[in-house]
Structure 1
């Protein structure tokens, strides 16, 4: 009984009542056509529960009707809910159309009953109150008990309470039906999950792109600036500034390309670098003081685009880690293009302080993820008194 006032003053109770009685517009139109509101009796009113059903089924075959019903249900059955309502979408299959038809019929039947009770409860309550005041039954109905009318005052609150209980129960049932009948099907939920997964994978890929490109540029710039200041040579400083400028320019191109992907209205941006552009990575590493030797075999231009682009990023991240953690040490880079796979190997000696690269860092994790997404594998760890990053990327 204490919960009754809370039910009365909840906004969702009134919005669901409104959603229910809105369905009786069709019943009113049918009654106006035949037999007219003045000639509407009990039998004709009962036929109104059946007559509009074929029309409702026909309306459900229109794809946009499902969208309209979904919007109404979300606004009136779930007011203020951001994730508990039903998504609004057009009918995409015949299964959606038949579920929409079932929804329209259910909403119509519950709406007619709600409207009937809403119309008859106020005069019934008023008649009970007047009967208690006059001491006799006014406007008696066939189902009313005979006798004095004063005790009908005790019955006067019962019809509004029953109406409220019916509206709350019907609204809850309609909300549950909306989730089941207007909500996405199993195929639609699977498609939405796949789309969300693709979006998350794309975000992760863009994060790796920014990490590798911008991280590489900043590492080269910091190392080059430090080396130039320590060298005290105008010629070396000039070379360092040129390397910083070139690396920064490439990083800006990569940043602009990634931002262009995020902005749908952005103009086309520069293509992503591939293994054919790996020489600029070697040049930047040499400019940072590393003693880089390279061994490139096989046609780089024949490597498929996705493999070549991801391979470039793997080499870039490996060289960035060498410059950042090991310093100016000997580094060997091997890029071998075979018939079935591309093999990448970056091996560096350890610095005098024994610096290495942790095998659990974000950069190395990104290398493994890139290789795994291409169906290959990558490993990093100590190898022959040094540190090696090795990746095998299938060409198929």
Structure 2
């Protein structure tokens, strides 16, 4: 099909035209009352375009009017899946929120007036072009004085057929041009206000932060479970002791079950499931981390001062993940070595310190670490605290300080 005829196969071409015709309806309703449409003069036609404007401006002051116009614009001015247009599912950038400021109301008023005037122009232009087609084709025998056409029409017999086709193409071009004009105007006049854009940006930022948090959760939980499983399997194979192998399998089972619970909880969050899920573990549940580390052969010396069970929820939950990553880091890089854990809680902050001997291949250790240690520092920063990781006095340490306020 020739390119200039393709718009005739697209639904959006006709929905845009219908949108404009509906927008001009108030003009013809008010014109039937004043100034009337029987033998109108040029002044009467000017009044047809002007009289409805105060009504439209008053309607634009209603906040819901912006939402109604936004919904209509999205549905009728922009190509959807039905339009058979490439990119038909693209974001229209037209807001459907009610007016929240006088600036929104003013933009809505300008939009309504523009829709009125363009719609009236389309109706008048369509009347002229279709009337000329009928006159050229000889479908009407009204004299030029009463046919309502602005221009005289030639009568060429069969030679008038090309002129009829040109007039019809001009009608399609007029509808397409008016529709594109209104679609462009809708993006500017009905587009999101600065406050709406800021809210959308904040929502997007929250989503990215949530995804980042979920990624850290999966890294810490699954990484810890896999590390414990690998260490336990290696130790059981080296020990060749049935009793030790049974204890190792129990530790792997317990750690794996905890990891599956964490994975299920995260997946339900991603699916936006309405079913209740178990709460995230806190430092009050840290004993299972210590048990899995001990079952892997590490000798964990723990000293806790202060009421850990009374820590604020966010601090306690993030502290649990930091401790989990610190123990995972020990098992992954140093193996079953002695570990000293010190947790001190007072009225203002919590201090957590994990220390273990440096591995034999620690030459060139920078202390920057991989994504796990970076995640510890990121968690601490988000809570207004700080974290330091790296060699210290011949040992590897993870030192975390978090404020409670």
- With structure 2 as the length reference, what TM-score do the two structures score? 0.83
- Quickly say closer, same or farther: Cα 1:236–1:4, change in 2 above 3 A: closer
Distance 1:143 1:259 in 2: 68
Secondary structure, counterpart of 1:378 in structure 2: strand
Q: Which residue of 1 aligns with 2:83?
A: none
- The answer to whether 1:186 aligns with 2:189 is no
Distance across 1 between alignment mates of 2:91 and 2:260 = 43
Q: Which moved more, 1:337-346 or 1:4-13?
A: 4-13
Aligned residues: 389
- Decide whether the 8 Å contact of 2:53 with 2:113 is kept in 1: yes
Distance 1:317 1:155 in 2: 80
- Corresponding position of 1:270: 278
Whether contact under 8 Å (1:329, 1:351) holds in the other structure is no
Give the match for residue 332 of structure 2: 324
> In angstroms, what is the RMSD of aligned CA positions?
3.3
| Structure 1 gaps, min length 5 | 131-136
Q: Note if contact 2:255-2:292 (Cα within 8 Å) is conserved in structure 1.
A: yes
Contact 1:291 1:328 in 2 (8 A): yes
Deviation at 1:69, TM superposition (A): 1.6
How far apart are residue 22 of structure 1 and its match? 2.1
| Structure 2 alignment gaps of length 5 or more | 81-87
Structure-2 separation of matches of 1:122 and 1:388: 85
Alpha carbons 1:15, 1:79 under 8 Å: kept? no
User: Out of 357, 379, 382, which is 2:391 matched to?
Assistant: 382
Distance 1:143 1:202, change over 3 A: closer
Q: Are the aligned partners of 1:260 and 1:268 in contact in 2 as well (CA < 8 Å)?
A: no
SS state of the match for residue 275, structure 2?
coil
Shift in alpha-carbon separation, 1:358–1:40, aligned structure 2, 3 A? farther
Match of 1:75 in 2: 75
CA distance, structure 1, for counterparts of residue 151 and residue 228 of structure 2: 94
Give a deviation string over 1:355-387, Cα, whole Å, max 9, x none: 979734221121111011011222222233332
Q: What's the secondary structure of 2:49's corresponding residue?
A: coil
| 1:78 counterpart SS class | coil
Query: Of 355, 373, 376, which residue of structure 2 is paired with 1:367?
Result: 376
Q: Distance in 2 between matches of 1:123 and 1:385?
A: 96
Give the match for residue 144 of structure 2.
139
Q: Distance in 1 between matches of 2:207 and 2:311?
A: 26
Correspondence for 2:84: none
Normalising by structure 1, report the TM-score.
0.85
Q: CA deviation at 1:110?
A: 0.8
Offset of residue 112 of structure 1: 0.5
SS of the residue corresponding to residue 49 of structure 1 reads helix
Shift of 1:32: 4.3
The structural deviation recorded for 1:170 is 3.1
